[in-house]
Amino acid sequence: MKKPELLAPAGSFEKAKVAFMYGADAVYCGTASLSLRSRAEVDDNDLEKTIKYAHSIGKKVYAALNIYAWDTNYEEIEKQVKMLDEVHVDAIIASDGGVIQKIREIAPNIEIHVSTQANVVSYHAAKFWYDNGAKRVILGRETSKDQIQEIMKNKPEDLEVEMFIHGALCWAYSGRCFLSEYLSCRSANLGDCSQSCRWAYNMYLEEKNKPGNLMPVETDENGTYILSSKDLCLIKEIPQIIEMGVDSLKIEGRLKTEYYLASVVNVYRNAIDDYMTNPEGYDYTKYLKELEKVKTRGLTTFYFNDRNNKDFQEYEGKQYNPDYEFGGKILEDKSENSRVLIEIKNKLSVGDTLELIIPNEIKPQAFTIEKLYDSETNEEISTVNPGKQGQTVILEIPFEVKKGWILRRKNIVVSKKAVSSISTTKILNS
């Protein structure tokens, strides 16, 4: 049984460091204006720094160059490929056949990973890309477990397979969507999706015999969310995925926070390692409990278990689990019961409950803030707000901590929306 690679998103150098700290084997980054998350671009200097850091700790970096390119894009594409070759990126993620051909011409030694945007959902398509230079294919999110098994059984032996296990779903065939461009003039296929599928819509009915007489379709004060997909979560299915021999398990989210990365990557790192060590003892519920502390739009297995599954749309536009939020980031190594400098991300007050997310441990360490100190004056204070980026505060933590570890804050008042309509049983029995 082969241990799969855990692949995490990295929208910046700092996010890459967090992903590696919490157990990612590799990260994927965007390239300037040439990936499908233009707001999560990593500039050339940061990308080079990320690659050097990753290689120094035995990790990998993949760069996304997965737009569907116009002829006017190719001058920039050539520059980017040459730069990526010079900084020794481990692979380029691409979807456009012309772009892939250009990569092979300019940098024949760089691995090519065919993006999920290419809609690989069969071993026939996988073999096509293999014959055209691909080292790895990233399956479409709509691929079921039966289809994945068929692909794994019939693909070329040395072709690697990657699949998504967690994160946002697109309302389109593997994310190829024109809705954003139509409604907001921001092309999803050129990296600038406005997530129009998740907007609140007001819907109206028109009676055939009374044209122009529009009657509203009423739901709630927030509108109607007819296209808003829940978030993919395959934590229960990790044993099946590993047993099928999938090479890389991918988490979506280059626009997500460091808190999201730490929480989700740490869960899947523990889940994979635990199953590899003790397959019979795998208990997904403890991992799901931690994933449910991260804000989502609800969780779904999508089509993995059942192509007829209808339970993957969030029709009310809810975001679940707002009772936890990003508290702060540890800025220095300290022994237990020490004053620790942290960068704050949300309001902190004496009496708040914090949870320390510890790498390679599934259960966080909880504690109550008993004292806060101004980081400039060292004076004791009762509360602090993040008035500017990078604002710091000193607090006492009863545990040993390491630089880069993440703290989350438990809200005292729990919103009604925190109670998910998808229970542990419902989500993972779909």
Domains by residue range for the chain, with CATH: 5-174+229-300 (3.20.20.380), 179-217 (no CATH), 324-413 (2.40.30.10)
Q: Give pLDDT, residue 414.
A: 43
Residue 106 half-sphere exposure toward CB, CA atoms < 13 A: 21
Q: Give pLDDT, residue 173.
A: 58
Q: Give pLDDT, residue 312.
A: 59
How do residues 370-396 score in pLDDT, each as one tens digit? 999 999 999 999 999 987 788 999 999
How do residues 272-298 score in pLDDT, each as one tens digit? 999 999 999 999 999 999 999 998 878
Q: Give pLDDT, residue 41.
A: 54
Round the average pLDDT of the chain to a whole number and report it.
86
Contact, 362 vs 290, CB < 8 A?
yes
Lowest mean pLDDT among 117-126, 168-177, 264-273: 168-177
Q: Give pLDDT, residue 321.
A: 61
* Distance between CA atoms of residues 355 and 351, nearest Å: 13
> Per-residue pLDDT for 412 more than 80?
no
Q: Give pLDDT, residue 297.
A: 77
Contact, 56 vs 78, CB < 8 A?
no
**Residue 425 binned pLDDT confidence (cut-offs 50, 70, 90):** very low
* Distance between CA atoms of residues 113 and 161, nearest Å: 9
How do residues 210-265 score in pLDDT, each as one tens digit? 787 776 655 555 555 556 678 899 999 999 999 999 999 999 988 899 999 999 99
Which position has the higher pLDDT, 4 or 388? 4
**pLDDT (mean) for 13-33:** 92
Which position has the higher pLDDT, 370 or 173? 370
> Per-residue pLDDT for 430 more than 50?
no
Q: Give pLDDT, residue 183.
A: 80
Contact, 114 vs 137, CB < 8 A?
yes
How do residues 59-82 score in pLDDT, each as one tens digit? 999 999 988 899 999 999 999 999
